[in-house]
Chains A and B, each alone.
Chain A
Amino acid sequence: MGPPRAHAATRRRGTRPDLRNLSLLIVLAALVLVGALTTPEQFLSLQNLQLVLTQASVIGVVTVGVTFVIIGGGIDLSVGAMVALATVWATTVATQQYGLGGILLSALLVGLGCGLVNGLLVSFGGMVPFIATLAMLASARGLALQISAGRTQIVDVQPVLELGQRDAYVLGVPPIVLVFAAVTVIGWLVLHRTTFGRRTVAVGGNPEAARLAGIDVRRQRLLLYLLSGLCCGIAAFLLIVLTGSGQNTNGNLYELDAIAAAIIGGTLLSGGRGTITGSVLGVLVFTTITNLFALNNLETAVQQIAKGAIIVAAVLIQRKGRTS
């Protein structure tokens, strides 16, 4: 027997995701206004826009994958650890010999490999997603630590490093941001315009009904964890480009940030509902907050308090938007 899904039936159908995203847009606009008022010259500059989007990209790609998993009724706590393992694996000296292609491919393969294990444990091992991915969190972090021996693995492959430099910007857009945009668009198309997307929503909303409707629930769940792993592989590559290194501490607390961004973006934690645009807006809200803090030179303690307050505000506004 799966977790109770009684609320799925009673949940309001036809809720307007646009309205929910609208409330997030209001929060984002408010943050932009604060930024424009406090540090007008820095905040509204092109450079800062590039910075905010670049910083949103790595966690953004992870969040797109996590959104799929949560909509499908699961959870993935291992995303940060998978990113760490992928960056460490892809930056080992042996891998660096194969250049950009070797680094990219190994990052993607590690992500996919971990995702496959998660998926098999949940779908065919009958494990609760929380536990299966928690186990992956622990072992992937451990493996990353062992491979790197706690060292920072510096990347010595010029084409990889150049991707993060200003010269590589396409019409003012950093390549890292382009990848994030592509993942967002593809994620949106897959979720809202394909059978795969409809199946994901069905499996998350009511797995029993989905099974009766002829959907292979186990296969669908396996694919969702694979997708999350793949996103982590992509994110790991972006992180390598961004920092020029691989480290076992990479992706620290990504799982919380990604899940929080998805929930703020209107994804139901119990599955069956969510949007890619909402999740991406959630990520942008977080990143803009961090940027505002840095620009205004706020202390760490104040930052943490303010972040908590803004999360609460965002969710309250959202709830208001839903009931009105």
Chain B
Amino acid sequence: MTEHAHHTPTTRRGILFGAAAVSAGALLTACTSNESNDRAATSDDQQTGGLDDKPGKHVTIGFAGPQADHGWLNAINVNAKSRARRYKDVTLEVTEGSNDTAQQIGQIETLINKKVDVLVILPADGKALTQVGLKAMRAGIPVVNLDRVFASPQAYRCWIGGDNYGMGLNAGHYIGEQLKDKKHATVVELAGIDNLELTRQRTKGFDDALKNYPHIEKVGRQAAEFTVESGQSKMAGLLQAHPSFDALWNHDDDQGVGAERAIKQAGRDGFLMVGGAGSRKAMDTIKAGNSVLKATVLYPPTMSASAIDLARALAQGKGIGGMAELEIPASLTLYSAVVTKDNVDDHLPTGFH
């Protein structure tokens, strides 16, 4: 009872914020989209997914994410919260984001002690947080592991995340197709933080894709730090090192803002650029078509909204609509779609700031 009383103000505020967010979203769509309202409604429906939307028993979901010091991570938090607000039968308990492993473990333990029904965890470091995932599972709280994967399958009931290898692969294939008429073509790579597993996967996928195009040679690679500042600085160096090349694969749209700035400052063009992650800025640029940026490979932050869907279904004992199984899957890997001028309108609503 006390717990319910405790939640009431949050819920009311949640509804207010939810209403504000929805109207702001509607306003934004109205302002920025040339398409009819039907289109906006359609894309919204698509985002609802195939999960059962009928209200069920009340569910408290604990959400523990890392510190949102990056556009994509911020979008993860925003998406999770706004999706939870749409369900009248869901209460979301959010811990403050942290990049400190010990602190995040403490936060998750607090959520376990509060006896939430399900946990959604985006660990700052998957390997380091495996133990606390196991602890939650042993306490009877199913864990939806978001993006950075735990070291043991026992530590989660369901994993949902993006495909870093697939990002590199699809970026490579897109570039390969664009340059297929060239006899000898060269590409450069502006990678993300080099000591992250995901960066190595993105590079591996890219290199593997390029093996299908023997006439394309990767001539340069520099690692940046996912920040605008590092993107500007490393790209300026790459441009200086390579007086000409045909394509650029940039792992992250945030650092891409800096990279594009360096490209403009150097007065360079004559190549195509492919970004990664799918920021709103990148999509707007692709749509405008007035820059070297021609495509971005998605790593959708909407995965946190899907994680909330899965967590709710898990707690209510539902499966996924459209699938024969009675239970939700053990793992879901999202597709790293390539967004170009042709399909950018479909993806614009998922672009993050």
Check if A244 is an interface residue, CB within 8 A of chain B: yes
User: Out of B69, B226, B233, which one reaches A145, CB within 8 Å?
Assistant: B69
B226: chain A residues at CB < 8 Å are: 249
Known: A149-B74, A247-B228, A248-B69. A165 touches B264 (CB 8 A): yes
Chain A interface residue count, Cβ-Cβ cutoff 8 angstroms = 39
Check if B153 is an interface residue, CB within 8 A of chain A: no
CA distance A45 to B241 in the complex (A): 11
Interface pick from B3-11, B122-130, B216-224: B216-224
Complex contact B74–A250 (CB within 8 A): no
Check if A47 is an interface residue, CB within 8 A of chain B: yes
Interface pick from A258-266, A290-298, A306-314: A290-298
Complex contact A152–B257 (CB within 8 A): yes
Check if A324 is an interface residue, CB within 8 A of chain B: no
- Output the least CB separation between A47 and chain B (Å): 7
A271: chain B residues at CB < 8 Å are: none
B220: chain A residues at CB < 8 Å are: 297
Complex contact B353–A151 (CB within 8 A): yes
Complex contact A150–B74 (CB within 8 A): yes
User: Out of A149, A243, A299, A300, which one reaches B228, CB within 8 Å?
Assistant: A243
User: Out of B68, B229, B234, B281, which one reaches A252, CB within 8 Å?
Assistant: B229
Complex contact B240–A291 (CB within 8 A): yes
Check if A154 is an interface residue, CB within 8 A of chain B: yes
CA distance A290 to B221 in the complex (A): 14
Check if B208 is an interface residue, CB within 8 A of chain A: no
- Output the least CB separation between B177 and chain A (Å): 26
Complex contact A42–B223 (CB within 8 A): no
Question: Could you give, for residues 223-248 of chain B, a 1 whenever the CB lies within 8 Å of some chain A CB and a 0 otherwise?
Answer: 10111111111101110110100000
B221: chain A residues at CB < 8 Å are: 297, 299
CA distance A45 to B226 in the complex (A): 29
B36: chain A residues at CB < 8 Å are: none
User: Out of A150, A151, A294, which one reaches B222, CB within 8 Å?
Assistant: A294
Check if B71 is an interface residue, CB within 8 A of chain A: yes
User: Out of B223, B241, B267, which one reaches A300, CB within 8 Å?
Assistant: B223
CA distance A41 to B243 in the complex (A): 10
Question: Could you give, for residues 125-147 of chain A, a 1 whenever the CB lies within 8 Å of some chain B CB and a 0 otherwise?
Answer: 00000000000000000000100
Check if A166 is an interface residue, CB within 8 A of chain B: yes
Segment 37-66 of A: residues with Cβ below 8 Å from B: 39, 41-42, 45, 47-48, 51, 54-55
Complex contact A295–B229 (CB within 8 A): no
Complex contact A245–B240 (CB within 8 A): no
Complex contact B70–A150 (CB within 8 A): yes
Complex contact A51–B223 (CB within 8 A): no
User: Out of A154, A248, A301, which one reaches B281, CB within 8 Å?
Assistant: A154
- Output the least CB separation between B291 and chain A (Å): 13
CA distance A291 to B238 in the complex (A): 9
Known: A151-B353, A252-B227, A297-B221. A242 touches B232 (CB 8 A): yes
Complex contact A291–B227 (CB within 8 A): no
- Output the least CB separation between B199 and chain A (Å): 9
User: Out of B232, B240, B257, which one reaches A294, CB within 8 Å?
Assistant: B240
CA distance A249 to B254 in the complex (A): 11
Complex contact A151–B74 (CB within 8 A): yes
User: Out of A39, A249, A295, which one reaches B69, CB within 8 Å?
Assistant: A249
User: Out of A150, A154, A290, which one reaches B257, CB within 8 Å?
Assistant: A154
Check if A27 is an interface residue, CB within 8 A of chain B: no
B236: chain A residues at CB < 8 Å are: 51, 54-55
Check if A164 is an interface residue, CB within 8 A of chain B: yes
Question: Could you give, for residues 58-69 of chain B, a 1 whenever the CB lies within 8 Å of some chain A CB and a 0 otherwise?
Answer: 000000000111
CA distance A297 to B245 in the complex (A): 14
B223: chain A residues at CB < 8 Å are: 299-300
User: Out of A151, A166, A299, which one reaches B265, CB within 8 Å?
Assistant: A166
B168: chain A residues at CB < 8 Å are: none
Check if A183 is an interface residue, CB within 8 A of chain B: no
User: Out of B68, B232, B281, which one reaches A243, CB within 8 Å?
Assistant: B232
29 contacts between A and B (CB under 8 A): A145-B67, A145-B68, A151-B74, A152-B228, A152-B257, A154-B257, A166-B265, A239-B229, A242-B232, A243-B228, A243-B232, A244-B257, A244-B261, A245-B261, A247-B227, A247-B228, A248-B69, A290-B233, A290-B237, A294-B237, A294-B241, A295-B240, A297-B220, A297-B221, A297-B222, A297-B241, A299-B221, A299-B223, A300-B195
Add 14 more A-B contacts to A151-B71, A297-B220 (CB < 8 A).
A152-B257, A164-B261, A242-B229, A247-B254, A249-B70, A252-B229, A252-B230, A290-B237, A293-B237, A294-B237, A294-B238, A299-B194, A299-B221, A300-B195
Residue positions of B touching A, CB distance < 8 A? 67-71, 73-74, 194-195, 219-223, 225-234, 236-238, 240-241, 243, 254, 257-258, 261, 264-267, 279, 281, 353
Residue positions of A touching B, CB distance < 8 A? 39, 41-42, 45, 47-48, 51, 54-55, 145, 149-152, 154, 164-166, 239, 242-245, 247-252, 290-291, 293-297, 299-301
List the 7 shortest-distance A-B pairs measured between CB atoms, nearest first.
A294-B237, A150-B74, A300-B194, A150-B68, A249-B227, A300-B223, A295-B241
